[in-house]
Amino acid sequence: MKAGKVWLVGAGPGDPGLFTVKGREALLRAEVVVYDSLVGPGILSLIPPGAAAIFVGKRASCHTMPQEQINRILLEQAQKGLRVVRLKGGDPFLFGRGAEELVLLKEHQIPYEIVPGIPSPLAVPAYHGIPVTHRDFSSSLHVVTGHPKAGKEVSLDFEALVRVGGTLVFLMGVAALGAICRGLLEAGMEPDMPAALLQQGTMAGQKRILATVGTLEEEGKRQGVKTPALIMVGKVCSLAKEFAWYESLPLSGYKVLLTRPRERISALAAKLREQGAEVLELPSIRTEAVEEIELLRKVFGRLRKYQWIVFTSPTGVCIFFEKMREEHCDFRSLGSARIAALGEGTGKALEERGIFADLVPEVYDGEHLAKALAKQKISGTCILLPRAEYGNPELVRILEESGAHVEEVVTYRTVYEEQKWIDEKQELESGAIDCVVFTSASTVRGFAKACRGLDFSKVKAACIGKQTAAEAEKQGMQIRVAGKATLDSLAELVLDMKRKG
C-alpha cells in the first residue's frame, strides 16, 4: 500500500481568521486529524465531517497522551495510506515539539509538510494593542518557555534575560508566575517595569491584566486568570491602553454559536466576526439532494406547462438547477414561467444563475408568500414547487384554495448533524456561549437532538422568523426574533442581544 502523508499544521492562536490559507486547505482535505487542547474550537469546526479526529489533549501539567505515543499515531495513520494533519496551537516549531514528531516519520520515509502558524507571542499582544517591539522602548523580542519539567523548579538564566533587555514573553508560565517575577527581580529588573498577563488572546475570553513585575503575581491572583495565557514583560506593555482596539468592536467578548448548514454558514459568520464576535460554526443540519430523481426528470420534460415556479430556499435553488444541468437543461427550458422566491437569500441564489425573481414577499415565510401569489390571479394556473421533504403545508393549502394546481416535488431532505470533536453541550452549560443563532425550525430541532439533556432554558436563541422562534420556544429557550428574515437583520439582533445582556 502506498504510504500516506503528514501535514504538521500550526493552527495559530485561536481566532479562525488567523488560520493560514495553506493550513485551512490541508485541514479541509484531511482524512485523519490529530489535535490538542490549544487548538481553537472555531478551527476544530472546520474538520471535515468524514475525517477521523484523534484528541491527544496536551496542556501544561496534563498530558492525555505521551509524546512517544503521538509520534506513533502519526506514523501508523500515514502507513495506512491516509492524509494526516497534525493540528497544533500556535506554530508547530515554537515550543510545539514539532521536530520530535518528524523523527519517526523521517526514519520510515513518510512524506511530510510543515505549515507554519501565526505564533501567540506575536498575535496575542497585537490583539491587546501591545507592539512587541518599538523604537522608543524595545529593539528585541525574547520568547521563553515558562513551563518547567515535571517536578522541577523554573530554571532560566534570569540575569541574561534582564541584561539583554527588550520585550520578554513567557509561554505556558502562569503556574510559575511567582517564580518568574521573583527571578527577574532578583536578577536586577526594576520592580516598576511594566508587565501583563494576557489571557485567551484573540478569543471571546480575552482579558488583560496590567501591572508591574513587582505586582503582577498579586494582581493576577486578585483578578483571576484562566489558561491559556502568556506573561509579557517590558516597557511596551505601557502602550496597551493607548493602542487597544479589540475591546472597541461591538461584539468583542461575545461568543456566538451558528447552527445553519455548513454550505450556508459563511456569510453570517463573516458579518459577526467583522463586529468582533468569536463565532463557533457547528451546523446542526445538512441538506442532501434526493437520489430518486425520476419525478424531477419528468418535471424537466414539461417545464413549459408551469405558469409559476416557486423556490423557498437557496438550497432548493442550487439543487434544482444542478439537477437541470445534469439533465442537459438550461434556463431556456423554463419558457415563460414566472419565478417566486421566499426571501433575500433565495433571490440572490437565483440571481447568481442569471434569473431575477418576479415576486418576493415582504415577509419571508410560507404563508406570506402564498398570499402574495394568491393576489396574482393564479386560479387555474399550474405551479411547480420544488422544495424540502417536509415543507410548510400552509403554503400549498393557500395556493390550492386560491384555485391553483400545485405540483410539489421533493428535491432535498434535511439530515441532523452531531459534532464529534466539540462538546457544544458542555460549552453551553459552562456559560461559554452567549447566544445561539437559528435560521430555520429544522436547525432548532437538530441542535436539540445534538444537546440532549441540556437545560434549554439557559439558551439565548436568536431566531430568523416566527416559525423558527416557535420551535425554539417549544424547547424552552429564551427567544428573540429578527425584525426581518435576512442575515443583516439577524446580525443586528445579535448586536442588540449583547447590548441588552
Please identify every residue annotated as catalytic.
36, 58, 172
How would DSSP label each residue in 316-367?
Answer: HHHHHHHHHHHTT--GGGGTT-EEEESSHHHHHHHHTTT---SB--SS-SHH
d(CA 468, CA 190): 60
404 in Cβ contact with 382 (< 8 Å): yes
Question: Which domains are assigned to the chain?
Answer: 5-117 (3.40.1010.10), 122-247 (3.30.950.10), 255-284+417-500 (3.40.50.10090), 288-416 (3.40.50.10090)
pLDDT value of residue 1: 62
Written as nine digits, the cell of 449 is 437532538
All three cell numbers of 39: 487548538
> Which positions ≥6 away from 182 have C-beta within 8 Å?
none
- Residue-level pLDDT, tens digit, the chain, 501 residues: 677 999 999 999 999 999 999 999 999 999 999 999 899 999 999 999 889 999 998 554 455 689 999 999 999 999 999 999 999 999 999 998 899 999 999 999 999 999 999 999 999 999 999 999 999 999 999 999 987 666 567 789 999 999 998 999 999 889 899 999 999 999 999 999 999 999 999 999 999 999 999 999 999 999 999 889 999 999 999 999 999 999 999 999 999 999 988 777 788 999 999 999 999 998 888 888 887 677 888 888 888 899 999 999 998 999 999 988 888 888 788 888 999 999 888 999 999 999 999 999 988 888 889 999 999 989 999 999 998 887 778 899 999 999 999 999 988 888 888 777 788 888 899 899 999 999 989 999 999 999 999 999 999 999 998 889 999 999 999 999 999 888 899 999 999 999 997
What whole-number distance in Å separates Cα of residue 491 and Cα of residue 485?
11
Query: 308-311 and 255-258: which strand pairing?
Result: unpaired
DSSP SS3 for 177: helix
Separation CA 136–CA 306 (nearest Å): 74
Residue 185 phi/psi, 5-degree rounding, is -65, -40
Q: What are phi and psi of 121, to 5 degrees?
A: -60, -20
pTM of the model: 0.86
User: Which residue shows C-alpha cell 493560514?
Assistant: 20
Q: What are phi and psi of 337, to 5 degrees?
A: -60, 140
68, burial (CB in 10 Å: exposed 0-12, middle 13-18, buried 19+)? exposed
SS3 195: strand
**Sign of torsion over alpha carbons 403, 407, 408, 411:** negative
Which pLDDT score is estimated for 150? 61
User: Tell me, what DSSP letter sits at residue 491?
Assistant: H
